[in-house]
Amino acid sequence: MGGANAGYRGRVHPPQRPRWWGSRWWAGALPTVVLPLAVAAFTLVGSHFAARNQPEARPLDALGIVLLLAGPAAVVVRRWHPPVVFAGIAAVLVAYFAAGYPFGPVFLAAFIALGTTVTAGHRVAAYAITGGTFPVLVAVYLIKHPGAGFPLTGGFAWLAWLAALIALAEVWRARSERREQARTARVEADRRRGSEERLRIARDLHDVLGHHVSLINVQAGVALYLMDDDPEQARTALTAIKQSSRDLLREMRSTLGVLRGVDEEPPQHPVAGLDALDHLVTATRTAGLPVTVEIEGTPRELPPSVDSAAYRIVQEALTNTRRHAGPARASVLLTYTEDGLTMRIDDDGAGVTGPTDGTGGNGLPGMRERAMALGGSLTAGPRPGGGFRVDAHLRTSGASR
């Protein structure tokens, strides 16, 4: 313990900077604080210079400055409830012009609030507030300038600016929605892949545990039965138990290693495939079940997913035979076809390996799910003449390599 942790205790970590020092603080402050400050400065300076060319307008006094700053101040909290903030800025805008203050860039805060309201999805509220505020501003202008007449050119110009701004906000909102939909789709795909991976690991654990625990149980029974009469045979059975236990631990470590995200190196032992079929058959024969293997076609390298599924199906079929068939012999026929691999596992036992409708256990349903996941098929049931048969076809087209 001391030696293992000495290096960790002796390690000196540099002091961490405050959170506000990092780039995330600036990223959050830019739209929240910096933008309203820029809008306030531009509004004040622009309105001051615009007032020089409008001698008939009311001079900017303390009330005018407060009204000019009210809009940018509301921009700070525009994301709290965009329609409410937009309505408040629109009301301040009407009050500013109703008081007779000069025209200028006072509309800037309202434009920002309008864009925020539309992009946030409150389109009806944004259009309603805009549609209600514009005629009010026109009415205020006519009241304040009774001899000027209706500002036709200026009104159409402002309508054009509003239309352009709304169109830009709609485009931005549509792009944001597409990005959100794409992100949601990626999250859902990751979740689905995670569920499929957990299901695959559960199947592997079921097959590994079922196979090796069954072998250990058989060999332990042999060792207990021959302990006094044939110690040498009992020793052989105990040796088989030791080997099967070692194989079980190794395969479980390899399988469960997928769940550990802290491993810096891949598992030392690859996922079991048909290259381990000879070892599987030898262990099964040692457990007392004679097995023959026959291969038709030209053997070739299979995609890892197909190779692993084929091995697990043979393993589970032989495990079921050893458990349920009674005294029996088993045969494995592998046929390499153009589009995949066909397997037939037969036994001539008097028992029944399990239900064929997918109920009552995980063995047969698990084998069938493995085959269907690769676009293949699997059938299992009593064979003609007695015994049990498992037929499976795994497709290699489209399988992950």
C-alpha distances in angstroms, 215 versus 159, 219, 296, 382, 391?
Answer: 83, 6, 28, 24, 24
Q: What pTM was computed for the model?
A: 0.46
Does 265 have pLDDT greater than 50? Answer: no
Note whether residue 291 is domain-resident: yes
Single out the residue in 150, 173, 199 at which a domain terminates. Answer: 150
- Token readout for 238 is 């105990």
Average pLDDT over residues 208-228: 73
Single out the residue in 150, 168, 187 at which a domain terminates. Answer: 150
Q: What is the CATH number of the domain that holds 352?
A: 3.30.565.10
Note whether residue 224 is domain-resident: no
User: Which of 342, 258, 365 lies closest to 295, judged by CA?
Assistant: 342
Most confident stretch, 14-28, 130-144, 278-292: 278-292
Note whether residue 13 is domain-resident: no
- Into how many domains does the chain fold? 2
Note whether residue 145 is domain-resident: yes
Note whether residue 165 is domain-resident: no
In this structure, are residues 73 and 49 in contact, taking their beta carbons and an 8 Å threshold? no
Single out the residue in 150, 167, 200 at which a domain terminates. Answer: 150
Q: What is the pLDDT of residues 297-346, one digit of tens each?
A: 888 888 888 998 898 899 888 888 887 877 889 999 999 998 889 999 99
Note whether residue 225 is domain-resident: no
- List the domain range (segments joined by +) for residue 334: 271-401
Does 378 have pLDDT greater than 90? Answer: yes
Note whether residue 206 is domain-resident: no
Note whether residue 215 is domain-resident: no
